[in-house]
């Protein structure tokens, strides 16, 4: 029995995690997976019921699980509050030690017209952002006063090395190219980053490495996105570039992610998007990013690559059939999108 902890969180989180759970249940019976689901609280929902964005009970359930599937955290009621829902997610990433965040960006043919970019630019885009997730400016010491404030950006050699290895290993299974993104013309952390990545690259002579400054990378990501294979970058640059990359497939609602730590520790799987308060509770959220995150969970943490592939294929078929939510220019509801995926999954397995 594999233990999966579901953390729906806030806003559209419960809607998209509910949809992904049903898809996982369908995959579970089709592939005899024996998944046991538990649920926990995180974010604004947790602050309301216990005062903490990551209650100890949730942290314990996460540590004891094989994998965690999270929706999103964040609620406008807590803008400017002392304790923010987002702190729960950061604490969970840190607690699980998930230092490598994989964010694949795939422009499927059925989505070419959903992208605000010209189809010929987006065609063939298949890139992977490997974002360092538990270090850098997010986790450095903070000082917060009314007249002065600071956030320390700190990286150790070891933190850079281990995430770089993840990127090079991934590139080996893809097109064999890593683009490391930094701001080495200004930042000391970036200069060390670049040196350490170059050293790690020597262990991977079969992988090609190049370096880009983050401002230029932001430009190339929309001007010539198909030049990228694996983008390796630090925590905050990865956060920003991954939202930018979401315009390639056309919507935030399409990007899944996997956050991985040491071998054997539970992985954390979540869509790249947030709690989307503007569309929460009306059944309009695109569940594909969370469903694809569940597929990544099956592949990376639960040892079921077949079931993962079947779910990814079913999402693709649903989109080819034209089942698109409003963010992709369609009219489908969250429910309809989920039902289409389950239907295609069952059809594919029956064949």
Q: Which residues bind Mn ion (CB under 5 A)?
A: 239
Residue 106 main-chain phi, psi, to 5 deg: -125, 125
138 is catalytic: yes
Q: In the complex with ligand IPM, which residue's Cβ is closer, 292 or 307?
A: 292
Binding partner of 261, given ligand NAD, Mn ion, ligand IPM, none, CB within 5-8 angstroms per partner class: none
Cβ 145 to Mn ion shortest distance, Å:
26
Toward ligand IPM, which CB reaches closer, 86 or 312?
Answer: 86
With CB under 5 to 8 Å by kind, the binding choice for 278 among ligand NAD, Mn ion, ligand IPM, none is ligand NAD
- Closest residue by beta carbon to Mn ion: 239
How far from chain centre, in Å, is Cα 32? 26
Kindly state whether residue 272 participates in binding ligand IPM, applying the rule CB under 6 A: yes
Between strands 230-233 and 177-182, the pairing is parallel
Q: Does 225 bind ligand NAD (CB under 6 A)?
A: no
* Pick 207 or 272: Cβ nearer ligand IPM: 272
Virtual torsion, Cα 213, 217, 219, 225, nearest 10 deg:
160
Does residue 86 belong to the site contacting ligand IPM (CB under 6 A)?
A: yes
Q: Is 223 exposed, middle or buried (0-12, 13-18, 19+ CB in 10 A)?
A: exposed
Name the segment binding ligand NAD (CB under 6 A); options: 56-64, 69-77, 106-114, 163-171. 69-77
10, 66, 234, 239: which one binds ligand IPM (CB under 6 A): 239
Tell me the CA distances in angstroms from 314 to 81, 231, 272, 305, one per residue in order.
41, 27, 20, 14
| Cα separation values, 125 from 154, 227, 307, 327, Å | 32, 8, 24, 20
Say which residue the tokens 């000391």 belong to.
Answer: 188
Residues 6+ apart with CB under 8 A from 291: 16, 19, 20, 23, 256, 311, 315, 338, 341
* Structure tokens given for 78: 């807590």
Asked if 328 and 253 count as a contact pair (C-beta separation under 8 A), the reply is yes
Q: Please give the full DSSP string across 87-111, using - where no structure is assigned.
A: HHHHHHHHHHT--EEEEEEE--GGG
Interface segment toward ligand IPM; rule CB under 6 A; list 24-32, 44-52, 84-92, 336-344: 84-92
Closest distance of CB 41 from ligand IPM, Å? 16
Catalytic residue among 138, 155, 204, 300: 138
Let me know: does 100 contact 37? Beta carbons within 8 Å: no
- Site residues (CB under 6 A) for ligand NAD, limited to 289-318: 289
Q: Is 204 a catalytic residue?
A: no
In the complex, the residues that contact ligand NAD under the rule CB under 6 A are 12, 16, 72-74, 86, 89, 252-253, 270, 273-279, 285-286, 289, 327
Please identify every residue annotated as catalytic.
138, 183, 215, 239, 243
Contacts with ligand IPM, residue ranges (CB under 6 A): 74, 86, 89-90, 239, 272, 274
């Amino acid at each position: 029995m594999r233990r999966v902890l579901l953390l729906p969180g806030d806003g559209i989180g419960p809607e998209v995690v509910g949809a992904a759970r049903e898809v996982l249940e369908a995959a579970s019976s089709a592939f005899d997976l024996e998944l046991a689901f538990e649920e926990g609280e995180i974010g604004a929902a947790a602050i309301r019921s216990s005062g903490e964005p990551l209650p100890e009970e949730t942290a314990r359930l996460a540590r004891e699980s094989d994998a965690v599937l999270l929706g999103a955290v964040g609620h406008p009621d807590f803008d400017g509050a002392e304790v923010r829902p987002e702190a729960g997610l950061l604490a969970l990433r840190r607690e699980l030690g998930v230092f490598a965040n994989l964010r694949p960006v795939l422009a499927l043919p059925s989505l070419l017209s959903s992208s605000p970019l010209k189809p010929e630019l987006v065609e063939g885009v298949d890139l992977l952002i490997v974002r360092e997730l538990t270090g850098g400016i997010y986790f450095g010491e903070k000082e917060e006063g009314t007249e002065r404030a600071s956030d320390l950006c700190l990286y150790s050699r070891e933190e850079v090395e281990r995430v770089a290895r993840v990127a090079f290993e991934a590139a080996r299974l893809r097109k064999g190219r890593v683009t490391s993104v930094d701001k080495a013309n200004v930042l000391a952390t970036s200069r060390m980053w670049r040196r350490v990545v170059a050293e790690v690259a020597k262990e991977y002579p079969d992988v090609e490495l190049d370096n880009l400054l983050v401002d230029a990378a932001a430009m190339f990501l929309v001007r010539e996105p198909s030049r990228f294979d694996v983008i390796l970058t630090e925590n905050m640059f990865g956060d920003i570039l991954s939202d930018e990359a979401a315009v390639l497939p056309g919507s935030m609602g399409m990007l899944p992610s996997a956050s991985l730590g040491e071998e054997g520790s539970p992985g954390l799987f979540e869509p790249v998007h947030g709690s989307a308060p503007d569309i929460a509770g009306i059944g309009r959220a695109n569940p594909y990013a969370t469903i694809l995150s569940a597929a990544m969970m099956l592949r990376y943490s639960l040892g079921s690559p077949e079931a993962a592939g079947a779910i990814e294929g079913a999402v693709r078929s649903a989109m080819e059939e034209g089942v698109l939510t409003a963010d992709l220019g369609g009219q489908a509801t969250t429910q309809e999108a989920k039902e289409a995926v389950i239907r295609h999954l069952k059809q594919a397995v029956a064949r």
